[in-house]
Structure 1
Amino acid sequence: MELFGLKSGNKRKAFILWSLIVLILAGVSSLSVWKKHQTLFPKIDENLTVTDGLGVSIHLGVTEKDIQLIADSGVKWARIDILWSQVETNKGEYDFKNTGYDELNGLLNKYHIRPYYILDYSNQLYEQKKSIVTEQGRDAFGKYVKVTVERYKDQGAIWEIWNEPNHPRLWDPQPNYEDYALLVKEVSPIIRKYDRSGTIVAPALASINEDALDWLQKVLEQGILNYIDVISVHPYQSNNPENVMKEYDELKKLIGRYTDKDIPIVSGEWGYSMAHTPVQKPITEMQHAEYLTRSFLINAKEGIPISIWYDWKNDGTDINNREHNFGIVSYYSNPKIAYLSLQTLTKQLEGYRFSKELSLFSNPNDYVLEFVNEDNKKIIVFWTSESSHNIEFSLKTGEGQIISMLGAVQHAEWKDKINVNSSSSPSYLVIK
Structure 2
Amino acid sequence: MQNAPIQRLLTGATFHGFWNYESKREMVFALRTLRNAGGRWVRVDMGWAAIETSRGVDSSWALEKYDLAIDLANREDLKVLLVLQRTPSWANGSDDETLAPKDPGAFGDFVLRMCQRFAGRVSAIELWNEPNQPSFFTARSPGEEAREHAAMVEDAYRKLKDHGPQNGDSLVVLAGGTSEVDVEWWEQMYAFGVAEFTDVVAVNPYPEPADASIADDSGGRSRMQEIDDLIGLMGREGDADKSVWFTEVGWSTHKSASDSPDDRPSVDEKTQADRFEETVRIVEIDYPQVEMIFWYNLRDSGDVGSGIESGFGLLDRNLEQKAAMHRMRELFVGD
Normalised to the residue count of structure 1, the TM-score between the two structures is: 0.65
Larger radius of gyration: 1
Instruction: Mark the CA change 1:293 to 1:232 in structure 2 (over 3 Å): closer, same or farther.
Output: same
- Residue 340 of structure 1: aligned partner: 326
Alignment of 1:292-371 (within 5 A): 292-301=276-285, 302-303=287-288, 304-348=290-334
Q: Give the Cα–Cα distance (whole angstroms) in 1 for the partners of residues 265 and 153 of structure 2.
A: 38
Alignment of 1:178-257 (within 5 A): 178-193=147-162, 194-196=164-166, 197-208=170-181, 212-237=182-207, 238=209, 239-243=212-216, 244-257=223-236
Q: Is 1:50 aligned with 2:32? A: no
Q: Give the Cα–Cα distance (whole angstroms) in 2 for the partners of residues 133 and 126 of structure 1.
A: 5
The aligned amino acid for 2:113 is V
Provide the secondary structure at the position in 2 that maps to 1:326: coil
**1:35-61 residue CA offsets vs partner (Å, 9 max, x unmatched):** xxxxxxxxxxxxx9535x211011124
**1:349-386 residue CA offsets vs partner (Å, 9 max, x unmatched):** xxxxxxxxxxxxxxxxxxxxxxxxxxxxxxxxxxxxxx
Instruction: Mark the CA change 1:96 to 1:152 in structure 2 (over 3 Å): closer, same or farther.
Output: farther
**1:198-219 residue CA offsets vs partner (Å, 9 max, x unmatched):** 10112301102xxx22222112
- Residue 93 of structure 1: aligned partner: 57
CA contact (8 A) 1:74 1:346 kept: yes
Q: Give the Cα–Cα distance (whole angstroms) in 2 for the partners of residues 346 and 288 of structure 1.
A: 17
- Residue 276 of structure 1: aligned partner: 255
Instruction: Mark the CA change 1:96 to 1:205 in structure 2 (over 3 Å): closer, same or farther.
Output: farther
State the Cα distance separating 1:242 from its structure 2 match: 2.6
The aligned amino acid for 2:247 is G
**1:90-144 residue CA offsets vs partner (Å, 9 max, x unmatched):** 3311235544001111101111000011021211111024232422xx2221221
Q: Is 1:120 aligned with 2:85? A: yes
The aligned amino acid for 1:309 is W
**1:295-320 residue CA offsets vs partner (Å, 9 max, x unmatched):** 22222221210100011111110325
CA contact (8 A) 1:133 1:179 kept: no
Q: Give the Cα–Cα distance (whole angstroms) in 1 for the partners of residues 265 and 122 of structure 2.
A: 39
Provide the secondary structure at the position in 2 that maps to 1:104: helix
Q: Give the Cα–Cα distance (whole angstroms) in 2 for the partners of residues 270 and 312 of structure 1.
A: 12
Alignment of 1:124-203 (within 5 A): 124-127=89-92, 128=94, 129=96, 130-135=98-103, 138-155=104-121, 157-173=123-139, 174-175=142-143, 176-193=145-162, 194-196=164-166, 197-203=170-176
Q: Give the Cα–Cα distance (whole angstroms) in 1 for the partners of residues 324 and 240 of structure 2.
A: 36
- Residue 73 of structure 1: aligned partner: 37
Provide the secondary structure at the position in 2 that maps to 1:162: strand
State the Cα distance separating 1:195 from its structure 2 match: 2.2
Instruction: Mark the CA change 1:49 to 1:93 in structure 2 (over 3 Å): closer, same or farther.
Output: farther
Q: Give the Cα–Cα distance (whole angstroms) in 2 for the partners of residues 323 and 133 of structure 1.
A: 27
Q: Give the Cα–Cα distance (whole angstroms) in 2 for the partners of residues 74 and 261 of structure 1.
A: 28
| Count of paired positions | 296
**1:163-213 residue CA offsets vs partner (Å, 9 max, x unmatched):** 0000011112452121111111110012223123210112301102xxx22
CA contact (8 A) 1:56 1:79 kept: yes
The aligned amino acid for 1:102 is D
Instruction: Mark the CA change 1:260 to 1:290 in structure 2 (over 3 Å): closer, same or farther.
Output: closer
Gaps of 5+ in 2: 1-5, 22-26, 217-222, 257-261
State the Cα distance separating 1:257 from its structure 2 match: 2.2
Normalised to the residue count of structure 2, the TM-score between the two structures is: 0.83
State the Cα distance separating 1:336 from its structure 2 match: 0.9
Instruction: Mark the CA change 1:234 to 1:313 in structure 2 (over 3 Å): closer, same or farther.
Output: same
- RMSD of the alignment, in Å? 2.0
CA contact (8 A) 2:200 2:242 kept: yes
Provide the secondary structure at the position in 1 that maps to 2:100: coil
Provide the secondary structure at the position in 1 that maps to 2:272: helix
Q: Give the Cα–Cα distance (whole angstroms) in 1 for the partners of residues 183 and 172 of structure 2.
A: 23
CA contact (8 A) 1:156 1:199 kept: no
The aligned amino acid for 1:144 is F
Q: Give the Cα–Cα distance (whole angstroms) in 2 for the partners of residues 109 and 283 of structure 1.
A: 32
Higher normalized strand content (fraction of residues): 1
Q: Give the Cα–Cα distance (whole angstroms) in 2 for the partners of residues 49 and 83 of structure 1.
A: 34
The aligned amino acid for 1:132 is A
Q: Is 1:267 aligned with 2:225? A: no
Q: Give the Cα–Cα distance (whole angstroms) in 2 for the partners of residues 294 and 50 of structure 1.
A: 15
State the Cα distance separating 1:79 from its structure 2 match: 0.4
Provide the secondary structure at the position in 2 that maps to 1:89: strand
Q: Give the Cα–Cα distance (whole angstroms) in 2 for the partners of residues 143 and 54 of structure 1.
A: 30
Gaps of 5+ in 1: 1-47, 349-406, 408-432
